[in-house]
Structure 1
């Protein structure tokens, strides 16, 4: 019982109950109780019928504040707005399209590789209504990436726009399981079904399938930051119920909020913050087409539209604070969130100076929902991932799976025995060895190194493979990168180990310079950065090697691939 109570620190603490500022519907309260293990997960659950259709009915009955469910704007200022009722009608048409002309059945898999366009959201809900398993991908995927995903998943249908259709056609002969190709485009293409034509002809009546909570709902390929991408399978209740708590407390959402999350549709954060978290809390999911990340577009949008809550990646916040944003006024914005990679405290301070708002950082993985978070009403410790989120019991463990005391570094782990959390991936699909290897004793090992302090806050050290061991000193790359980003010359950096005959390995920093420093003398700038890091953090952590580069290798989700840089370094030996 003590372990169970420890797991639920957050919703029992006064700071979180102070954050309950608003409308609470029986719908949200019920799923919140499941997150707290006050109620059992129902045997059957379907997000479309049990959540979206319930909001639609409340909307019709006047029991919900008037607010759109979905609000999309394009680069040309075109807008699409749907109520929950309209979302229901349109998603039923899309469901009939999938089960009719596309010939897909419950349990079949479909890969969607679409930019931020309304059809992506319709297909998400349509797949849930039909029991078809959705596999999202980013539009940055190459033909090789697509081939790998189609072959590994055995998907029967792929959905893309004009830009990727030629890539699919170039590899389709090697995809034996693929039955149909669906094109989201105004034009036509030989051998492809056209979404627009089929959607217009599709009826708007559809009976939602009755899915078991444990049935597969979505598969995400991992970012591939530590090897080939793996298929992570989630059930209907995992995401569909699991984001009730983080949506309400981390993102601080209510039915009157307009929430903008900038994530690419191929990244798991888009499902988290552009579908499940806002809609389970009855909020409006705001979307900007945003084909490229442009700080001016982001800032203009925050100024023009009544966006109350905003989420973007730490890299994006770094770019936004470097942009001249003194002329922008965010009249509606009241809450900011980030995740996906560690946020440097320097960036957090600069954002608050310019906007008056804190950034609430959270930590999670493709395999989970939110693991740790800084939530509204909680003291923020800059650089910390926050505290554990229900229903997870998060600990720092050693190589044998023993829980470590506060202040001791180890592996960030989630207890999965004797009872596996419901909001947790079911398996690495078709990879039982990897599934088994992720468990140590009664814990799932995240692959991240961290420390928990005396107050229960977690601190990220680095990926297990990223930690540098130099002459007996263990050095986490993030702390060095955080020190570097405080120097005005540094736009971005990645820190890895580099071979050294005396110390075994040393710290090496790959640095992308800010435009104003591109003409500076590299040798002098290297020494300046080294001395800067010595002043900011423990002197032994300074980068003994510095290399200036134009860009850093990243995954399609935008995460820095330190492993590529590390491999390059060690190949030089």
Structure 2
């Protein structure tokens, strides 16, 4: 990295941020002119957040609850509160390099803890509250965690999780009054009576100014993410104090965020997209992070809150978009200026439905837990239906032929790492504790994503599928995503996943697992209609030949686990309909 004096880090970061804001609708100028800030020392909490937050009374975090209650915290209030939490955590023994499992919902303590951990140079292992004891034991062991911070209602999950780690509970345990714990004895830290869990609420008594205990090197670890594990045991992705905080400048650019925006991102805490769009990207832009907490998705209520609170930018995964288009989108009187989708590719039918209702285009983007956004459709650019867009500023993206390993117009999406002077800042350092897997992912001077894409003459990349998901039928290559998109054009289909089914003649044929929209019943008549739709919209070699109505297995982050469907198919499946029987 180029050496930069720590006092210059904020100015360098701001200059890069302002360059992207100035060229937010001029992709060519942004891509050609952007240069990553490369400070030798950088702490986003001190060097950026505190600089924009001190004395700033604009809303930084706005949380609306399902029961109508809401919390609004200013930038300055969060700054002071995170200093208090940092001081208190230091008193509890948290030190630089310590690893902390943070398992909280969308609550103010989540953001306070994230900023506080940065200040202490501790390493956060985000975890969704949906995890059970077995997953948590894996995170404690493989993550080498020394501390956990969890909701009080989840503390019981740790009864079966061995380890000598500090236990910190947020909130009162279920069935108890929400009151402060009893005062501790002089020799013992304050704990919830009889539980052994420290009370997070005591942080309010700490000083609201926390001095750093030393400089933060840019390459120090900050985050350890367990991937969602769609095909294998979750990997442990390591990010630094620059790879996400600075790397998400380009995520800010893709979303189109501006200072003063109110940004709603629907994502569960514990997953990388939450840090992408509920922490770094919006606060890099000096925008408000807006959250609507719901237990069951309600499209009408969500749109009512978006209207009431003036949401200007909106990001949601494809699952949410697919549920939204089944509602009356016209109920949203003032649609957001910017709408984007991430997590999995978005089907063209969804994009067109939202365009007709809201007059805005959903702009797709592609990234991974391992990176910030690599390929995207930023504001103001020509959109091509089905395309993820073009490489993000700061990223050199190539498609590698699966046979030759050479750059091609279709192949594995990869980042060029051969020019060390232009290494993308928004890339992980590797898979923690797994040098072999890291070496495999970065072999030959490329970071290989495992995803297949196709590039057209204008440089736009269209997603084909996961390398493990694409299959051959009668020697033709079949992309499950393309077939799923076609099925979703039919009004009966709410969700679909396509996998190969064994066939004695063609080796494999496409089989679709379908979740039906409201008002449709599984059975031979619906199957016949879907087979007819497949014949009308797809080339003969791509047609869906088998069909089963079933719920789709998903990871806790909402991604479809096609490996489970492939195994189910190989074992004979359930009630299956065949095209040849329903013409």
- Same fold by TM (over 0.5)? yes
Are the structure 2 counterparts of residues 392 and 42 from structure 1 closer, same or farther at C-alpha, using a change threshold of 3 Å?
A: same
Per the alignment, residue 565 of structure 1 pairs with: 565
Partners of 1:233 and 1:428 within 8 A in 2: yes
Within 2, Cα distance between the matches of 1:240 and 1:255?
A: 17
Within 1, Cα distance between the matches of 2:566 and 2:243?
A: 35
- Structure 1 residue matching 2:494: 3-state secondary structure: strand
Corresponding position: 1:457 with 2:481: no
Corresponding position: 1:230 with 2:241: no
Structure 1 residue 246, shift from structure 2 partner: 2.5
Structure 1 residue 452, shift from structure 2 partner: 0.8
Are the structure 2 counterparts of residues 104 and 410 from structure 1 closer, same or farther at C-alpha, using a change threshold of 3 Å?
A: same
- Structure 1 residue matching 2:483: 3-state secondary structure: helix
* 1:467-509 Cα deviation digits (max 9, x unpaired): 1211101101000000001101111111011111111111110
Partners of 1:115 and 1:291 within 8 A in 2: no
Within 2, Cα distance between the matches of 1:476 and 1:96?
A: 52
Partners of 2:101 and 2:147 within 8 A in 1: yes
Within 2, Cα distance between the matches of 1:20 and 1:72?
A: 33
Per the alignment, residue 479 of structure 2 pairs with: 476
- Structure 2 residue matching 1:441: 3-state secondary structure: helix
Structure 1 residue 401, shift from structure 2 partner: 5.9
Per the alignment, residue 187 of structure 2 pairs with: none
Across the aligned residues of Structure 1 and Structure 2, the Cα RMSD in angstroms comes to 2.4
Of the candidates 49, 54, 61, which is equivalent to residue 51 of structure 2?
54
Partners of 2:300 and 2:331 within 8 A in 1: no
Per the alignment, residue 312 of structure 2 pairs with: 308
Corresponding position: 1:357 with 2:347: no
Of the candidates 322, 328, 331, which is equivalent to residue 332 of structure 2?
328
Corresponding position: 1:264 with 2:268: yes
Within 2, Cα distance between the matches of 1:267 and 1:34?
A: 31
Corresponding position: 1:318 with 2:318: no
Within 2, Cα distance between the matches of 1:376 and 1:285?
A: 20
Q: Give the TM-score normalised by structure 2.
A: 0.87
Are the structure 2 counterparts of residues 566 and 158 from structure 1 closer, same or farther at C-alpha, using a change threshold of 3 Å?
A: same
Corresponding position: 1:179 with 2:165: yes
- Structure 2 residue matching 1:241: 3-state secondary structure: coil
Within 2, Cα distance between the matches of 1:548 and 1:456?
A: 38
Partners of 2:24 and 2:378 within 8 A in 1: no
Structure 1 residue 189, shift from structure 2 partner: 6.1
Structure 1 residue 111, shift from structure 2 partner: 0.6
Per the alignment, residue 91 of structure 1 pairs with: 82
Partners of 2:26 and 2:380 within 8 A in 1: no
- Structure 2 residue matching 1:240: 3-state secondary structure: coil
Per the alignment, residue 411 of structure 2 pairs with: 410
Partners of 2:20 and 2:34 within 8 A in 1: no
Within 1, Cα distance between the matches of 2:561 and 2:100?
A: 28
Are the structure 2 counterparts of residues 250 and 40 from structure 1 closer, same or farther at C-alpha, using a change threshold of 3 Å?
A: closer
Structure 1 residue 40, shift from structure 2 partner: 5.1
Corresponding position: 1:512 with 2:512: no
Of the candidates 143, 152, 169, which is equivalent to residue 133 of structure 2?
143
Structure 1 residue 16, shift from structure 2 partner: 8.2
Within 2, Cα distance between the matches of 1:293 and 1:126?
A: 31
Within 2, Cα distance between the matches of 1:535 and 1:15?
A: 45
Within 1, Cα distance between the matches of 2:199 and 2:20?
A: 50
Corresponding position: 1:155 with 2:107: no
Structure 1 residue 35, shift from structure 2 partner: 9.1
Structure 1 residue 528, shift from structure 2 partner: 1.9
Partners of 1:46 and 1:236 within 8 A in 2: yes
- Structure 2 residue matching 1:220: 3-state secondary structure: strand
Task: In structure 2, list runs of 5 or more residues that go unmatched.
Answer: 1-16, 174-191, 574-583
Q: Give the TM-score normalised by structure 1.
A: 0.89
Within 1, Cα distance between the matches of 2:49 and 2:493?
A: 45
Aligned positions of 1:383-532 closer than 5 A: 383-399=386-402, 402-406=405-409, 409-419=410-420, 420-518=423-521, 522-532=523-533
Aligned positions of 1:99-248 closer than 5 A: 99-101=90-92, 103-169=93-159, 171-172=160-161, 174-175=162-163, 178-187=164-173, 188=192, 190-209=194-213, 210-247=215-252
Partners of 1:114 and 1:138 within 8 A in 2: yes
Within 2, Cα distance between the matches of 1:344 and 1:381?
A: 12
Within 1, Cα distance between the matches of 2:206 and 2:24?
A: 47
* 1:131-184 Cα deviation digits (max 9, x unpaired): 010011111111111111111101011122133211111x23x33xx4211111
Partners of 2:250 and 2:373 within 8 A in 1: no
Task: In structure 1, list runs of 5 or more residues that go unmatched.
Answer: 1-10, 22-31, 61-65
Partners of 1:512 and 1:552 within 8 A in 2: yes
Per the alignment, residue 36 of structure 1 pairs with: 34
Partners of 2:451 and 2:466 within 8 A in 1: yes
Are the structure 2 counterparts of residues 74 and 478 from structure 1 closer, same or farther at C-alpha, using a change threshold of 3 Å?
A: same
Corresponding position: 1:341 with 2:347: no
Q: Would you say how many aligned residue pairs link Structure 1 and Structure 2? A: 534
Are the structure 2 counterparts of residues 97 and 347 from structure 1 closer, same or farther at C-alpha, using a change threshold of 3 Å?
A: same
